[in-house]
Structure 1
Amino acid sequence: MANPLSVCIITCNEEANLPRCVASVGFADEIVVVDSGSTDRTVALAVEAGCRVIDQPFLGYAAQKNMAVQAASHQWVLCLDADEWLLPGAEAVIRQALATHRPEVAGYALKRHTYYLGDWVNHGGWWPEYRLRLYDRQRGEWVGDSIHEDVEVQGAVARLDVEVGHFSFRDIAHHLNKINTYTSMRAQHWHAQDHASAGWLQLIGRPLWRFCRMFLFRGGWREGQRGFIIASIVAFYVFTKYAKLWELQHGQGQGKGPDVPVWDAVSDARVRNGNAMIK
């Protein structure tokens, strides 16, 4: 390989996913794992696999990934999430790209393929899902907010015929748990940034449009009932983040009950005794 390669992975309690990810990039010259306080065997597994492990309290997704990239030893880096892995054939394509890349190319987008509810998702806009993951760290960095992050590079981006497996959701319950976390983070970010109010358009129109775009216009219906479920959950995600924004903007997110008079048994007894004495 003309240019050595560092693989950068951020983790937190990823013992179920990390071995698959690390095994798929064994050809790399270096694997850097930045862990944010795992309480399972993530760190031990990374060390056993020969990774260089760095402990770093979570800084946010973009900042955490930039920290991993800065710790890498080589100019070209491949950034993967722990629930992602390279499918067979990736090594040869990546080696060829790094050996022959044009000077103006600062990064490569890879094809992410999600596995969910028992099979690969091939429609609905989830395949092929190109993500810029292989890049020259001297000309690129991760940018984004508390949830969504992407790589921005100074230079051209080419596409590689490299497939990245993605197993982000174990099941529907796990998916909904992630939605609960991400929608709260998104709503809080919007609220802090004084985002436009969550009106009828956002609460009804945007979820409906997302469902129609995914299920009807982008072929999610080809996945059958599984495609309908996925599109419905994604629409629910859109609805929930705006509903939580509405909650914050209207001051309804404090968990307080209604204002009602509180009955004081001691005072009530004293009043009744006083009334009895008067009589």
Structure 2
Amino acid sequence: MSRRLSVVMIAKDAADLLPDCLASVAWADEIVLLDSGSSDDTSGIASRAGAKVFSHTDWQGYGIQRQIAQRYASGDYILMIDTDERVTPELAEQLRQTLAAPQPGAVYSIARRNYFLGRFMRHSGWYPDRVTRLYERERYQYNDNRVHESLDAPQAQTIALSGDLLHLTCRDFASFQRKQLNYATAWAQERHQRGKKTSLPGIFAHTLGAFAKTLLLRGGVLDGKQGWLLAVVNAQYTFNKYTELWALNHGYSEKG
């Protein structure tokens, strides 16, 4: 007997992204959307598409928000996706086959194809970019991380699914940069609160390392001009993370 699937997502001001996202998972038994305080028609679009819509505006980070969203789901399995992601037909078929005879206790990873400035990247550490998104609702949930949250299932067997999850990571560069800066700030705050420290040499070592890792070790050069640009963007993001942490360490930032 096939297990029931709940597609779960958190969202804020995603009216432009939602229609295609929802259409790609319309076959699921249930869609749950937790709105984080949208000022656009995010909730209305989701509701009209048949999703169960809830609201939670006391933002405590991505991990906890995903935990709250999961509590509203009723399916046997959770597929956690974002509004800028789309389930391809190949992945949908693989998910249906998996749910027909799942491995008890296992979690399932999915390959993401990330879009960056006009190109779905094939290298640069952005493909296959496997993320663990399919899991048993009553057994697992996301951790408490404010950013870069992940499924808390360290002992679980991970099974790789075929089929890609399309991720519209960077359609608009200005919006992407704002999101990256917010991620960097939240990352630094979290590390600072845990007592982590960095130094000026550490800032530059991590920054240069991020550039080299993206371009050379992860094959960014094979992604053409977007690969070079992404290497710079990753270096910038890393610089922002560690500089903000350094500023918090020394009392030069008010966000600590």
TM over 0.5: yes
Q: How big is the shift at 1:61?
A: 0.8
Cα distance between partner residues in 1 of 2:184 and 2:94: 37
Cα distance between partner residues in 1 of 2:189 and 2:228: 29
Cα distance between partner residues in 2 of 1:194 and 1:107: 32
Cα distance between partner residues in 1 of 2:129 and 2:71: 26
CA RMSD of aligned residues (A): 1.6
Q: How big is the shift at 1:152?
A: 2.2
- 5+ long unaligned stretches in structure 2: none
* 2:135 corresponds to: 135
CA contact (8 A) 2:60 2:146 kept: no
Map 1:150-189 → 2, pairs under 5 A? 150-153=150-153, 155-189=156-190
* 2:84 corresponds to: 83
Cα distance between partner residues in 1 of 2:156 and 2:218: 30
* 1:259 corresponds to: none
Classify 1:193/1:155 alpha carbon distance in 2 versus 1 (closer, same or farther; 3 Å): closer
* 2:211 corresponds to: 211
Deviations 1:111-163 (A, max 9, x none): 11101101101111110011010111122110142111111235311010021
* 1:4 corresponds to: 4
TM-score normalised by structure 2 residue count: 0.94
Residue 27 (structure 2) pairs with residue 40 (structure 1): no
Report the AA paired with residue 132 of structure 1: T
Cα distance between partner residues in 1 of 2:5 and 2:253: 47
Cα distance between partner residues in 2 of 1:205 and 1:10: 35
* 2:101 corresponds to: 100
* 1:235 corresponds to: 235
SS of residue in 2 equivalent to 1:138: coil
Equivalenced residue count is 253
Q: How big is the shift at 1:225?
A: 1.7
- Structure of higher RCO (CA pairs closer than 8 Å, 6+ residues apart): 2
- 5+ long unaligned stretches in structure 1: 256-279
Q: After TM superposition, what 4+ stretches of structure 1 lie above 3 angstroms from structure 2?
A: none
TM-score normalised by structure 1 residue count: 0.86
SS of residue in 1 equivalent to 2:126: coil
* 1:119 corresponds to: 119
Q: How big is the shift at 1:78?
A: 0.5
Cα distance between partner residues in 1 of 2:37 and 2:180: 22
Structure (1 or 2) with the larger CA radius of gyration: 1
Deviations 1:87-110 (A, max 9, x none): 12222211111112233x421101
Deviates more, 1:57-66 or 1:221-230: 57-66
CA contact (8 A) 1:8 1:77 kept: yes
Cα distance between partner residues in 2 of 1:199 and 1:144: 29
Aligned-residue identity in percent:
35
SS of residue in 1 equivalent to 2:169: coil
Classify 1:254/1:24 alpha carbon distance in 2 versus 1 (closer, same or farther; 3 Å): closer
Cα distance between partner residues in 1 of 2:50 and 2:126: 33
